[in-house]
Structure 1
Amino acid sequence: MAFGQHGAEVTEKGTTVHDEEKMDAAKIIMEHVLDNHEFHLAEIGGHTVSIPLPIILYSPQRGFNAFMSSRFEHGHAQYGGYKMVNDKVVPVDENGNVDESVSVMDFSLTRNVVQMFIAVLLLLLVMINVAKKYKANGTSKAPSGFQNAVEPVITFVRDEVGKPNLGSKYEKYMPYLLSVFFFILINNLIGLIPGSANVTGNIAFTLVLAFISMIVILISTNSHFWGHIFWPPGVPFFVKVILIPVEFAGIFIKPIALMIRLFANMVAGHIVIICFIALIFIFGAMNIGAGLGFSPLSLAFTVFIYFIEILVAFIQAFIFTNLTAVFIGQAFETGHVDHNEQPHDPHPTHDHREKEYAL
C-alpha cells in the first residue's frame, strides 16, 4: 500500500531537486473503497503488486477488444487505442488524447464483479453441500462439520425473522430470505480480507438488492394493502389528501432505506480502518518519531475496529433480511403473528358458538 511518492525535477542548471509529494489521504481512501480493474495487494520497492482483471470493450467504430488491465500499467500507458483515466477506460487517438468521436461500451470484469461471482460460488458450494448431507442422512443423524455451523444460522433466520414477521406464510419466503442473508454475509466477510473489494459498500450492489426486495414486496401485496395506500380508512378527507402521497412514497422509501443502510454501514467501517492506518503516515510525514510513536496506538484501534466489522457483517446481513421480512409481512397485512394462539375452527361446535355469543 503506497502512501507517499517521491519525484525528481531537473532545473535549467542541470541540478536535480527531489520533491516529496504529500500524501493525499482522501484519494487513497476513495481508491480502496471504490471499484477497480485490479486487486491491489501491496506496494513493494515502488512496484505495485496486484492481480489484473480482464478488460472487455466494444466500440461500434473499433469493434470488440479484450485484454488484461495490466496493459495499462496502472494508468501510465495506453493499449489498443484506449487508456485508463480515473479508473475509467476511455478511447484515445494517436497522440494519446481522448477521442470524443469514438463511443465505447465497457463490459470489463471489475473486482466487485469478480468478487460477487466468488461469493455466489461459495454460497452454492456451502448450501449444496449441506443439502446433500440432509438428503443422505435426513434427521436421523446429528449434523456434523460445516453443516453443524450453518444449521443454527438457518434456524435463527427461520425462528427470529421468518416466523415472527410472516406467520404461516414464512416457508414460502424462506428460500429468498436465506439467500439474501447468506449472500450479504459472505460478501461482507470477504470484503474484510486485505486486498479484496468492499462489494456491499458499493451503492450499485445495494441498489440491486433493494430493487429485488421491492419486487418481492410488491408481488406479495393484495387489494387490502393497496386500499390502505390510495384510500386510508378511518381518516377525514382532508387528511387523506396529505396521507395518500406519503403512503405511496413509502412504497419506494422502504427499499431505499434498505439500500442506504447497508451501503453506509459497510463503507463507513472500511473508511475508519483506512483512516487509522493513514494516520501513521500523516504523523510520520510531520516527524518520524511521531509516526513511530503513534503506530502502536493506530494499529490497536485498527485491530479493534476490524473485529467490530466482523460483528457488523453479521448484524447488517440480519438487519437487511429482517427488514425485508417486515416489509413483506406488511404487504399482505400479517403483522406480528402470535404463534401461541389457537387456530380458528371454521366449523365451531355448539359450545363454541355459545361462548362466542356470550362474548
Structure 2
Amino acid sequence: MVQTLRRVFLTLLFLSISTSNTFAADSSEQDEAQVLDVMGTVADHDYFKVPGFINGGKIYLPRIFYWESAEGESQLSAYLSTKSVLESGEFVENEEGALVPANGGHIIIDLSITSHLIYFWMGMLLALILTVMAARRYKRGIGRTVEPQGAFHNIFEVLFVFIRDDVARDNIDHHKADRYVPFLFTMFMGISFMNLFGLLPWAATATADLTVTATLAFVTFLITQFSGTKDYWAHIFWFPGVPTWVRVILTPVEILGMFTKPFALAIRLFANMLSGKIMIIAILGLVFIFADLFGAGAAYGVGIFSVSLTVVLYALKVFVALLQAYIFTLLSAVFIGMAAEDHAHAEEGYHTEHIAEEVSAN
C-alpha cells in the first residue's frame, strides 16, 4: 500500500513539474520579459501540443475563414496554418494579434481548427469508441448471458447502469427515460474525458472554453424543447386554472427560464473547469515569480510548497472533473424530465368555481 501511494505521489509530482515547464516555455515564446502568462496558457490556440514532437512539440492546425472582401464578395479560404495565412498575403495581423483581411473587409465566420476543438473531438470520439467496444461484447452475450469480464467491462457497466437508473429513470418519466439514456451517457462520458484531458501537462481543458460548454448546453436546450409535451408548453404560455392577470406575469418569467437553464449549465461547467486550471497554474507560477524576484534559492524553497499543494489539487481536480460531468448530466436529465412530464391537472376550460363545487361535493 505504501509503495502504491509512493508511485502515485511521484507520478503526480512529475505531472506538476511538467505542467510548469510547459507553460513556462509558452510564456517565454510570447514575451521573454513576462514571468507568467496565466490567461495565455488557458486560452485556445492554433496548434496542438504533443510532448517530444518536432517543432517544439507543436502541430499547427488548419485555419479556415468564411470572409467578405472590401468589394462585398464572400468566399471560403483554407490554409494549413497561421503561418500559411500570413504568407498568402490575403490576411494580416492587427494590433491585437487577430487576423483580418489585408485589403479591407471582415471575417464572417472563423471555422479554424483549434486545440480546444481537437480535445472536444477526442473526448466524444473516445466515449463513442468505448461504447462501441462494450456493445460488441454485449452482442456476443458477455454481460447478458454471463457476467461482465475484465475491469473495463465492469467499470463501463457500473457507469452505464448508474446513468440509466440513478440519473435518467429517477428524473424522467419511466415510460420515456430509456430513450434519453444514450444522450445522457454520451454527455457524461464525453465531458468526463474532456475534463480529465486537462490534467495532462501538455493538454488543454476543452470545457474551460465557454464556446464548448455553450454548445453542449445548446444541445440539451434543443432536446428539452423538442421533448416538451402539450402540458409543458401550456404551463409556459397559458397557465391552466390561474387568473389572466397572473398569466401576464408568469408567462415572461417562464419564457426567460427556458433560456436561463442552459445558460446556467454552460457557465457552471465553464467556470469550474477554468478556475481549477488557473489555480494550478497560479500556484506553480509562484516558483517562477520567486525565481525572478529573489533568485533560485527562493524558488526551490517555495517549490516544495507549490508542488506539494499542486499534487493535492490534482487529486481534487480528478474528483471535480467527474463531479462536474455528473452535475451537467443530472441537470440535463432534470430539465428534460420537466419538459417531457405529463402534468395531471384539471381541464383548461374549468373555472375556479367548478373546481370548488367538485371539491365540496367530494
TM-score, normalised to structure 1, is: 0.76
- Kindly state the Cα deviation for residue 319 of structure 1 after the two structures are TM-superposed: 0.6
Corresponding residue of 1:107: 111
User: 2: CA distance between counterparts of 1:333 and 1:101?
Assistant: 50
Corresponding residue of 1:211: 218
Corresponding residue of 1:33: 42
Corresponding residue of 1:273: 280
Q: What 5-or-longer segments of structure 2 have no aligned partner?
A: 1-22, 70-74, 344-361
- Kindly state the Cα deviation for residue 237 of structure 1 after the two structures are TM-superposed: 4.5
RMSD of equivalent CA atoms = 3.0
User: 2: CA distance between counterparts of 1:261 and 1:273?
Assistant: 19
Residue of structure 2 aligned with 1:154, choices 154, 160, 173: 160
2:301 maps to a residue whose letter is: G
1:90 maps to a residue whose letter is: V
- Kindly state the Cα deviation for residue 252 of structure 1 after the two structures are TM-superposed: 0.9
Corresponding residue of 1:333: 341
- Kindly state the Cα deviation for residue 266 of structure 1 after the two structures are TM-superposed: 0.9
User: 1: CA distance between counterparts of 2:338 and 2:112?
Assistant: 40
Task: Work out whether residues 229 and 342 of structure 2, in 8 Å CA contact, stay in contact via their aligned partners in 1.
Answer: no
Q: What 5-or-longer segments of structure 1 have no aligned partner?
A: 8-18, 73-77, 93-98, 336-358
- Kindly state the Cα deviation for residue 101 of structure 1 after the two structures are TM-superposed: 4.6
Corresponding residue of 1:67: 80
More helix per residue: 2
Q: In the alignment, does 2:141 pair up with 1:137?
A: yes
Change in Cα spacing, 1:105 to 1:245, as seen in structure 2 (3 Å) is closer
Q: In the alignment, does 2:245 pair up with 1:223?
A: no
More strand per residue: 1
User: 2: CA distance between counterparts of 1:87 and 1:313?
Assistant: 32
Tell me which moved more, 191-200 or 252-261: 191-200
Corresponding residue of 2:328: 320
1:262 maps to a residue whose letter is: L
Counterparts of residues 38-57 of structure 1 (less than 5 Å): 38-40=47-49, 48-57=56-65
User: Residue 109 of structure 1: SS of its match in structure 2?
Assistant: coil
Residue of structure 1 aligned with 2:99, choices 78, 85, 89: 89
- Kindly state the Cα deviation for residue 103 of structure 1 after the two structures are TM-superposed: 5.3
Counterparts of residues 207-356 of structure 1 (less than 5 Å): 207-233=214-240, 235-288=242-295, 289-333=297-341
TM-score, normalised to structure 2, is: 0.76
Corresponding residue of 2:12: none
1:250 maps to a residue whose letter is: G
User: Residue 197 of structure 1: SS of its match in structure 2?
Assistant: coil
User: 1: CA distance between counterparts of 2:84 and 2:24?
Assistant: 20
1:111 maps to a residue whose letter is: S
Change in Cα spacing, 1:167 to 1:225, as seen in structure 2 (3 Å) is closer
Counterparts of residues 117-136 of structure 1 (less than 5 Å): 117-136=121-140
User: 2: CA distance between counterparts of 1:101 and 1:210?
Assistant: 33
User: 2: CA distance between counterparts of 1:65 and 1:191?
Assistant: 29
Identity %: 36
- Kindly state the Cα deviation for residue 6 of structure 1 after the two structures are TM-superposed: 10
Corresponding residue of 1:21: 33
